Amino acid sequence: MKVLFLNGPNLNLLGTREPEIYGRLTLADIEKQVRTRAGELKVEVDFRQSNIEGDLVGWIQEAKGKFQAIVINAAAYTHTSVAIHDAISAVGVPTIEIHLSNVHAREEFRHKSLIASVCRGQICGFGVKSYILGLEACVYVTE
């Protein structure tokens, strides 16, 4: 099985960005932990980040036929992007929404996810473990 991990805007700043909310791990540290677990699960992983909404839309479109599942931390685009919602809906690849922080316990504008309705489920609030649980959810939804 191949899983595509997509990371949205500002996640390239993890490690120094508001560590009290997002922790001190960099995105590279998170990728390393994901790859370790993926190896145990015999899952192949592609791990990408972009600050550009169109890149994320393009990668979702290209995932069809190449990846069995997508794990997406759309970051701020979670709360704004009809385009990412539509791309997930259009390709039909099972997609898991994840967040490091518990978005429901934060500012009200983070309580609404525009992509949740087209995702198989949402995992938030567990830091790097949200990524690991997202990977495990992919195994679950595809078996």
Residues forming the active site: 22, 99
- Binding segment for ligand DQA among 36-44, 63-71, 75-83, 114-122 (CB under 6 A)? 75-83
Q: How many helices (H) and strands (E) does the chain have?
A: 5, 5
Among 25, 57, 60, 75, binds ligand DQA (CB under 6 A): 75
**Judged by CB, which is closer to ligand DQA: 68, or 130?**
130
By CB under 6 A, residue 5 contacts ligand DQA? no
Burial (Cβ within 10 Å: 0-12, 13-18, ≥19) of residue 39: exposed
Q: Does 100 help bind ligand DQA (rule: CB under 6 A)?
A: yes
Compute the distance between CA of residue 93 and CA of residue 97 in angstroms, rounded to an integer.
Answer: 13
Determine if 26 is a binding residue for ligand DQA (CB under 6 A). Answer: no
CA angle 131/129/26 to nearest 5° reads: 70
